[in-house]
Chains A and B, each alone.
Chain A
Amino acid sequence: MGINNLLNIATSGVTMARVAMEVTSENIANVNTPGYSRQKTVFETAPVTTANGFPLGTGVQLASVQRSHDDLLQLQLVKGNSQYGESETKQTALSQIEPFFNEVTNDGLGQAMEDFFNSWQDLSVTPQGSAERQAVLSRSQVLVDTFHQMNTNLNDSLSSADRSLEGLTADITDKAKSIASLNEQILQTERLGGNANELRDQRDYLTQELAKKVGVSYSEQSDGTQTVTLPGGEALVQGNSFATLSTEVDAGTGLNKIMLTPVGGGASSDITATIGGPDNSLGEIGGTLQVRDEIVPGYLAKLDEMARQLVTNVNSQHSSGYGLDGTQNNFFDPAKITSADIALDSTLTTNKIAAAGQDPTTVSGPGDNTSAFALAQLKSGSFSFTVDGKTTSATLSSFYNGFVSSVGIDTENAANSTAQNDSFLRQLNALRESNSGVSLDEEMANLIKYQRAFEASAKVINTASEMLDTVMNLIR
């Protein structure tokens, strides 16, 4: 009533101006916090009372502190992060595998094969030459060693992809735990009527980071908690509890399986087949599984097929020929037909290398080069390569060149895909920043605005106080 009213109104003005400045200073302090959405105060007039018969206001009150947030953008950001995580992991793995196949600048398996067949050509010109025979042995050993090395390199990539799954699952579990605890905090805060803007920001940001690792989907429940679901439909976070992801080595393959201990405990189950999303296309975990289970095994299969065709066809020609000692032998060990174990026959010596088409000790002579000639021509011979159920007919070097080219195509595609997803993610982030990001210019202007409001309301208090003094001094 009376001057008290004036004081109350002015006090509410001062208080609200201070609150607004607190929110502004919160925005300014968090200008570089990732995931932070700017907040703004929404004021409304305090309830109206009737005084002297007509309605009069009672000042200002805080309606809410809103954060600028777009749910659709969050959804797209989560999806975008999953796609980016997958393509980036693939690209990193492939760019580490590509150098093994870089026949453009380095001499690798392609050159080793050329040298091998060239040594047979040299032998066909001088079949009994000991230098030429030694050269055949050395070049073959180099070829065998190169196969081994390629195999080791590819297997190393495979095991490092496999090992990274352990870190990934630990990280995912960790984030799930954080989201669960944030859920709890948000629930409590909002139940008490407070606003949990910062907590929600943190939860949104964590969800984006989680989505980069695994292609999750999420939905908000009516009580404010967020349920997070894995691509296979299993719940990762529900309310304040979370599921645990771990790895377990499969006894058969020696590779890691991804195990899920569901929310609320229980037996763990193998979710390796679904956790990467459809075709393992989501999240870093999807990318890693693709590399480990499809891409590298595909390359190994081609390499093994090359080794098998080499051993089989060379042995077939070689064992029909005769060495200088009149014996017929295999050139490569016929039991070892993968790129990991391909080896020269253990009994092979320079004299047993078959250059002759007939027994040189009895029928023809040491100058018989017909078998070496035929073997050298295997270089241009067409073999039937069967990989993954598909059969192609090509020469050995043509098949390998195609192989190198396909590695190049895979790498190029992964790089393009990553660039596209990166660009898409950037645009989304820019939109989000535009919507929710803090602009220091804006906050500075607001600061001045609220400071003036504060000063003005304070002035009103001052004036009211002087008025009160005047009233007091009326009675003396």
Chain B
Amino acid sequence: MRITPGMTSDNALYNLQKGRTLLNRLQEQISSGSVINRPSDDPITTRQLLDMDSQLDKGDQYLSNITKGNLSLSMTDTALQGMADIIAQAKETVGTITSGSSDQTVRENAASQLEELKKQLVDLGNTQLGDQYLFAGFKNSTPPFSTADNTYSGTSDEVSIEIDQNSPAAITIAGDTLLKGTGSYGSVDIFETLDAIIAAINSNNPADIQSNAAKLDSSSSQINNARSDVAGRMIRFKSAETMITRNQATLKGIVSDTMGVDYIEAATQLNKQQSAFEAALAATAKITQLSLLDYL
């Protein structure tokens, strides 16, 4: 085949261009740290990477939800602990006067102690997290309990948040199931019971005192049931958090394996390509200088 100097120089330029393109790509990979810098570099892997990014983002959001939920549950737990203490104190006080007493002062002391304890219970029932009332169900911008009467002005709902894909979890307890016995923790209306005991003490009715004292015992287990429910939920949150964190770590590892540049390999390639390119440049320089004109 006949070769002209024009062909030689065209060929040389084409191959130099190819060499430069390869060098450019390697340099881009090394300086950006990723093998894929645009969807067209590897469209299928891009799809996988984007899907994994989606999952990582979801995981982060769930972790954020879990953190906020934990706050609510811890406050609830602290309040419940306080309530349990109050019931214990109330039981102690009732214990001292369980058979009634002929002494008016003793009776008045016991009654006023119980009044105070009831007020504290109402306060705890109106515990707030920020400006939301924890035990008010959905009506959480107004206090659910009042010292004036024993009515509950919240709703019976528990606030649910998502802690993992399709995993809703409740982060509050409704005040009426807790303190008025309308739910599964127990069936004692604690405020009514306390009122009944106070009235029984004031009217020196030991029979009533004793029957209501028994209810007070049940209310203790009512509070405890709620506490173990909350504790169970906190354990569930903890394990969800651990699992999600572990998944995130694994996913991040996969993402960096897929997308990250192996610097050693890239540097080796760069060196190799550089030497090849330098050789091509030198050869081009040598060959394009040859011409018959130099010898005539």
Which residues of A line the B interface, CB within 8 A?
31-32, 95, 98-99, 101-105, 110, 114, 118, 121-122, 124-126, 128, 356, 360, 364-370, 373, 376-377, 379-380, 397-398, 401-402, 404-409, 411-412, 415, 426, 429-430, 433-435, 437-442, 444-445, 448
Contact = CB atoms under 8 A, between A and B. Distances in A.
Q: How large is the interface on B (under 10, 10 to 19, 20 to 34, 35 or more residues)?
A: 35 or more
A99 B40 CA distance: 10
Contacts of B22: none
A79 B112 CA distance: 105
A356 B140 CA distance: 13
Given A368-B157, A408-B43, A440-B293, A433 B57 contact: no
Contacts of B14: 426
Nearest to A413: B40
B57 A118 contact: yes
B10 A429 contact: yes
Contact of B292 (A356, A397, A445): A445
Nearest to B60: A118
A356 B61 CA distance: 21
Contacts of B11: 430
Interface of B: 1-7, 10-11, 14, 32, 34, 36-44, 46-47, 49-51, 53-54, 57-58, 61, 64-65, 68-69, 132, 136-142, 154-155, 157, 159-162, 165-166, 168, 171-172, 259, 291-293, 296
Nearest to A411: B40
Q: What 5 pairs across the A-B complex have the smallest Cβ distances?
A: A408-B39, A365-B139, A408-B43, A367-B140, A365-B138
Given A128-B132, A397-B54, A405 B43 contact: yes
A122 B6 contact: no
B4 A433 contact: yes
30 contacts: A98-B39, A103-B53, A104-B36, A104-B46, A104-B49, A118-B57, A121-B161, A125-B68, A125-B161, A126-B68, A128-B132, A128-B140, A366-B138, A366-B140, A367-B132, A367-B139, A367-B140, A377-B166, A404-B50, A405-B46, A405-B50, A407-B40, A409-B43, A411-B38, A435-B2, A437-B7, A438-B4, A440-B292, A440-B293, A444-B292
Contacts of A32: 6
Contacts of B43: 405-406, 408-409, 412
Contact of A98 (B40, B138, B292): B40
Contacts of B68: 125-126
Contacts of A98: 38-40
Given A373-B160, A409-B43, A122 B292 contact: no
A368 B40 CA distance: 46
A38 to B, nearest CB: 9
Given A434-B7, A444-B296, A101 B138 contact: no
Given A104-B38, A118-B57, A365-B154, A440 B139 contact: no
Contacts of B10: 426, 429-430, 433
Question: In this complex, which of A99, A402, A405, A434 has the most chain B Cβ atoms within 10 angstroms of its Cβ?
Answer: A405
Nearest to B2: A434
Nearest to A405: B47
A250 to B, nearest CB: 32
B57 A367 contact: no
A401 B47 contact: yes
A101 B37 CA distance: 12
Contact of B136 (A102, A125, A365): A365
Contacts of B141: 128, 365-367
Contacts of B65: 121, 125
B139 A364 contact: yes
B162 A373 contact: yes
A104 B155 contact: no
Contacts of A114: 54, 57
Nearest to B161: A125
Contact of A369 (B5, B44, B159): B159
